Structure 1
């Protein structure tokens, strides 16, 4: 392991505490340098973005990159900082729960995102009951390992690829989120929510912390007002960095 079990346990407990205090803001990172930048700025935890890491490695998002490369990159992130690190583990790469937990702890991570998209079935939603069982397995494996890994259960019903009718998305996200929290997830992440009223309904109906994203109707002040526990940005800052690079290098050609 990158760190001993005692250190990892303390970091996991700290990460869990951060979901129950002031809103946890996580500007997602993709490499050691971006991780160090975020930690040095004063953020109490660091989160990776799978879309950014896979793009950096030259692979498509959605488990298009070999898990070995993704975990190696996440390990470099974890070694670059002393704050808790949570890894976007996509849908778990087909690993059994104990293997997933062991791989996370080996690289020094104490949290993970797990999405309920089935990439092996064309990106359709996974069966909610089966996903809940998987999350329960991850929780049990983490307990056995002695490190209470923080599980952020992503609910993908608001993504167009999920094929859920717009009028059913909130109810289906609530149904899935309740199942996942009941299975031992620490937080529910309904990715892709754009409307304030939808997110307000989710926060009200889900009996646990909710992860939100900023958007046209959802700035940080609004998310805090709604009671969102955690805010993440996915590959946004990675793409902004590339856009800045493009602008600067194009100046060299003029």
Structure 2
């Protein structure tokens, strides 16, 4: 079984209360810490990696993002999926080649750019080209940004999700969807659903990962939440050193 096949198999969750939890490493050290804690796979957050590299979210040059992903992949022995934002304007074939060169088993691909939603039909066509170039070598997580961009009607998310699944997406990620909407999305989306778990000040998700799973999430990611909590902890430690 290839690493990508292993990653794909992890999305088959017989118990809804046991979703796949994918921590988001921002560098090799954090990736090793997550694997040491027992997580079977990881998913990089673009915003967390950007912060670690000294960039604002969405401003990381493609070369630096792929290099960061490659360092994370080399540091661990579990599958790593990469958040590569909206693909950095790369042609599908080049995007796939660079992901595979970095050692990623999958990727997040957003359907907005510069805060503006893309035309869903054009984006679906592009996703289909990525799927064709990748074959079964990459697990494609298609992010649906409607809720993030202020479009609260779940039907708009469902319409986009259907197009992306038809284009070959393995998973759909309706980022920022309210937890109470997850059952409706689950009923209308074919295949795995990625849910975003916000972390409180103590680093706990609310609702819990199990609750999100029961509501319909197949897998849980945290965006840059873990990197930001780690940075907050470091600030508290260093403030103590000064005192």
Normalised TM-score (structure 2): 0.92
Asked whether the equivalents of residues 194 and 217 of structure 1 are also in contact (C-alpha less than 8 Å), the reply is: no
Taking a change above 3 Å as real, the CA distance of residues 244 and 217 of structure 1, as seen in their structure-2 partners, is: closer
Aligned match of 1:206: 189
Deviations 1:135-185 (A, max 9, x none): 111110012xxx5200000000111xx242x3x2x1111000010011000
In the alignment, the residues of structure 1 paired with residue 111 and residue 160 of structure 2 have an alpha-carbon distance, to the nearest angstrom, of 9
> Residue 149 in 1 paired to residue 134 in 2?
no
Mapped contact 2:142–2:164 kept (Cα < 8 A) = yes
Are 1:104 and 2:99 matched, yes or no?
A: yes
**Shift of the alpha carbon at 1:41?**
1.6
Shift of 1:217: 5.7
Counterpart of 1:190 in structure 2 is 174
Of 207, 222, 225, which residue of structure 2 is paired with 1:236?
Answer: 225
Matched, 1:140 2:140: no
TM-score normalised by structure 1 residue count = 0.88
TM-superposition CA deviations, 1:30-86 (whole Å, max 9, x none): 000111111122111111110011111111112x11100111111000001111110
CA change 1:200–1:217 in 2 (3 A) is farther
Residue 178 of structure 1 aligns with which residue?
162
Q: How far apart are residue 199 of structure 1 and its match?
A: 1.2
Kept in 1: contact 2:179–2:215 (CA 8 A) = no
CA distance in 2, matches of 1:70, 1:32: 13
CA contact 2:213–2:219 (8 Å) conserved in 1: no
Matching residue within 12, 21, 25 for 1:20: 12
What number of residue pairs does the alignment pair up?
A: 233
- The structure 1 segments of at least 4 consecutive aligned residues displaced by more than 4 Å after TM superposition are none
What per-residue deviation string (whole Å, max 9, x for no partner) do you get for residues 10-46 of structure 1? 0111111111225210111100011111112211111
Contact 1:195 1:217 in 2 (8 A): no
The alignment partner of 2:2 has SS state of helix
Match of 2:50, SS state, is helix
Q: 1:57: which partner in 2? A: 53
SS at match of 2:132: helix
Separation (CA, whole Å) in 2 of partners of 1:207 and 1:48: 24
- The answer on whether the counterparts of 1:35 and 1:46 sit within 8 Å (CA) in structure 2 is yes
In structure 1, the gaps of 5 or more residues are 1-8
Partner Cα distance (2:76, 2:107) in 1: 17
Q: Any gaps of 5 or more consecutive residues in structure 2? A: 199-204
- Structure that is richer in helix per residue: 1
